[in-house]
Each structure stands twice: as C-alpha cells, then as structure tokens.
C-alpha cells in the first residue's frame, strides 16, 4: 500500500473537540490517527478553535454551518456570509496540488457540488442517512459521475438513499486501546450522546423512572430548552448528568454501567457511542432503527426493541443478565478496531485513486 498525502475536510458545524460535530469528530480523529500511523501524510482542515493533541490541524475562520438534521426536507441550502464551509473549501482549492486525495467528512452540499471543479479526487464519507432533498440530489450526482467515491457507515444508512447500491459501506472503528474492558459493573445504566431532540433521551429517562434503576447521562447539552423540559417532566427520575467527558474519562464511567440505552428518533448511521460501549464490555439496549440493527447481536451483546417503545426498553433492561460482556468486547475487537477500519479506508482510497488517477492541475 503506497503512502498518500491526504487532506481531511472536517465538519463545518463546530470546531473539532467542541462536541458540536457529534460522532463525526471521533470518526475523523480515529481515521486520521490510523492513517498517520500507517505512514501516510495528512492535514486536517477544520473551523477555527479546533484542537487536537496529536493531529495536524489547519484552522479556518468563518461562520459555522447550521446542522443538517435541524432542517426540513425541502429547505434550501443556506450559506452564511463569511461561511467557514466556503472558506475551508477555498483553502482546499488552493492547496489541492499537494495532495493525492481529499477526504470530505462534512454532510453538506458545497463539497459535493465542488467535486467536479477539483483536480484532486475527493472521497466523501457521508455520516448520516437521507435528510434533505438537496443533499440526496447532490450526493447522487457525485455517486453517478464519480463512482465509488461515496462512502457510508452502514447498510441501513445507505438504504435511506435511492442510490444505496452506489454507496460503499465502511462501517466504523476506534482505537480500542483507549477503552478498558469492565467485567463487574455497577447497577446503573448509561445514555451517551448529544442531548438534542433527534436523540430521544426522554425515553431513557422514562425507563429509568419506571425501573427505578439510576441512569448516568453523558454528552453535550446541545439543546438546552429540550433538556430543561425533560428535567421538569421527570423531576424524580433517578438520573445524573455527568457532562461532556473526554474519551478517557467517559470510557472509565461508561464501563461501570450495566448497559447503554440508545434511543434514536432518526436513522442513526453508525453511532460511535455504541462501539465505545461494546469496547468497554457494555451491552446495548436500542431501538430497532438505523445502524444499531447492524451492530447488536440479539440476546448476546444487547437487545433491539420496538422503536419509541419505553416499555420495550424496560423489558430489555430486565433481561440484561442474558447478555455477555466478554462477547461485547470481542465484537469490538473483531470488527471495530481502528486497524480493521484502517484497512477498509485504505482499500477505499486505493480503489478511488486507481480508478480515477489524479488529474495533474494544468501547468
């Protein structure tokens, strides 16, 4: 496998490390670490304020992009004045000749629209399922004109698009050495993620109230009014908000939990939090929706329940003794290790570059 010069384009909805970018922050960092470890050269382009202990970041100023999941299907594309997204891609245009491949991690229209205007090939890692008509349309355009350059995480995510067969499934992965296996947990449950309506945390709180089993909550409170309403609606639920913790602290506390409740209201592509839980030996109780249906080994590494059914969550919680924490860790090591992910990414890059050799910018 030759070594490549890679330019990673981050999400424009928040600085890397802020938590605003959700799972894609962790995905980008994990892949970048592994590509560097394998001898590739790499620079990450991200909004001003992005931080990373070990990754080379080029910070770009400008106004953040609005999160796509807050838009309705027919909403037009909004590009604010001094858009950080536009500024990031103007930078990419200027430096593209130094790179063999650009990898786009943003779920945004502009990078996809600009693809034919670039000489350097662009690989798009699409991090969510179908959300808006404009995104569906532009992704399909790129899938048709640049076959093999549209990557997704899972089959259920791909299935939300009419062009599922043109999407390459990359699954996901993370650095398992950061996650300690815990065989003897406490009695409490966990919920991890951005606290926002599409994540459905109110159902996990309701299940904690019904079962009386304490629920520890980790993640960025992205929608404050939403969180405050839940606290008002369930004043005596046994919940404890633990904050938005860095991976090292999160995995320490998450490993102590009996199970992770995953309550997505939408098609979550491939929630990183589920992989993190498995890596700590924590079984998953999740709605039968999105990427979790491809992750949970029913009855062994968790349970899939009727979507939006709190009663379903409660029944699964009472069956937790059937699950096997060692099997959870084993599943993470087999499929979600960062080296398994690195192999899938390098193969993807190789396939793109051998099928669409770099067009040397006209001298």
The residue (of 71 and 211) whose beta carbon lies closer to ligand HBI is 71
Nearer to ligand HBI, 68 or 257 (CB): 68
Nearer to ligand HBI, 109 or 146 (CB): 109
- CB under 6 A: which stretch of 93-101, 106-114, 202-210, 331-339 binds ligand HBI? 106-114
> Smallest gap, in angstroms, from Cβ of residue 130 to ligand HBI?
13
- Pattern 108-127, binding to ligand HBI, x per CB under 6 A? x------------------x
Q: At CA 187, angle to CA 186 and CA 188, rounded to 5?
A: 95
Strand partners, 221: 195
The only residue of 106, 171, 278, 340 in contact with ligand HBI, by rule CB under 6 A: 106
**Residue closer to ligand HBI (CB basis): 99 or 107:** 107
Q: For residues 260 and 241, give the distance between their C-alpha atoms in angstroms, rounded to a whole number.
A: 14
In sequence order, what are the residues at sequence separation of 6 or more whose Cβ sits closer than 8 angstroms to the Cβ of residue 181? 255, 279, 280, 281, 325, 326, 329
Which residues within the stretch 40-99 sit at the binding site for ligand HBI (CB under 6 A)? 65, 67-69
**Kindly report the CA angle at 130 between 190 and 146, in degrees rounded to 5?**
120
Cβ-based nearer residue to ligand HBI, 68 or 261: 68
Nearest approach in angstroms of CB 108 to ligand HBI is 5
Give residue number: closest CB to ligand HBI.
Answer: 22
Cite the DSSP H helix spans in the chain: 23-37, 84-95, 109-114, 133-145, 155-158, 201-211, 224-233, 247-254, 272-279, 292-295, 310-317, 325-335, 338-355
Q: Which residue has the tokens 């670490």?
A: 33
Q: Strand 57-60 relative to strand 41-47: parallel, antiparallel, unpaired?
A: parallel
| Dihedral sign for Cα atoms in the order 69, 71, 72, 78 | negative
Residue 139 in contact with ligand HBI, rule: CB under 6 A:
no
Cβ at position 75, least distance to ligand HBI in Å: 11
Site residues, ligand HBI (CB under 6 A): 11, 13, 21-24, 65, 67-69, 106-108, 127-128
């Amino acid at each position: 496998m030759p070594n490549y010069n890679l330019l990673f384009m981050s999400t424009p909805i928040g600085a890397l490390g802020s938590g605003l970018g959700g799972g894609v922050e962790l995905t980008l960092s994990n892949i970048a670490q592994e590509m560097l470890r394998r001898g590739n050269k790499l620079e990450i382009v991200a909004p001003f304020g992005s931080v990373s202990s070990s990754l080379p970041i080029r910070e770009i100023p400008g106004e953040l992009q609005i999160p796509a999941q807050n838009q309705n299907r027919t909403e037009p594309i909004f590009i604010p004045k001094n858009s950080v997204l536009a500024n990031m891609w103007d930078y990419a245009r200027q430096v593209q000749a130094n790179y063999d491949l650009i990898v786009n991690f943003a779920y945004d229209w502009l990078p996809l629209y600009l693809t034919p205007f670039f000489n350097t090939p662009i690989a798009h890692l699409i991090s969510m399922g179908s959300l808006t008509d404009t995104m569906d349309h532009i992704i399909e355009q790129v899938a048709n004109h640049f076959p093999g350059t549209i990557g997704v995480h899972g089959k259920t995510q791909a299935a939300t698009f009419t062009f599922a067969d043109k999407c390459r499934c990359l699954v996901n992965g993370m650095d398992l050495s950061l996650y300690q296996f815990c065989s003897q947990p406490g009695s409490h449950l966990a919920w991890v993620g951005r606290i926002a309506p599409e994540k459905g945390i109110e159902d996990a709180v309701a299940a904690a109230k019904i079962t009386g089993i304490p629920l520890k909550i980790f993640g960025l409170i992205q929608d404050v009014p939403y969180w405050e309403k839940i606290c008002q609606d369930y004043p005596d639920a046994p919940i404890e908000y633990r904050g938005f913790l860095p991976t090292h602290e999160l995995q320490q506390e998450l490993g102590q939990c009996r199970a992770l409740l995953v309550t997505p209201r939408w098609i979550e592509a491939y929630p990183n939090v589920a992989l993190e839980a498995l890596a700590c030996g924590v079984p998953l109780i999740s709605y039968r929706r999105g990427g979790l249906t491809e992750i949970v080994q029913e009855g062994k590494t968790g349970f899939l329940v009727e979507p939006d059914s709190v009663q379903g969550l409660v029944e699964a919680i009472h069956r937790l003794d059937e699950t096997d924490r060692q099997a959870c860790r084993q599943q993470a090591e087999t499929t979600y290790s960062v080296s398994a992910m690195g192999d899938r990414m390098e193969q993807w890059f190789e396939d793109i570059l051998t099928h669409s050799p770099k067009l040397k910018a006209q001298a």
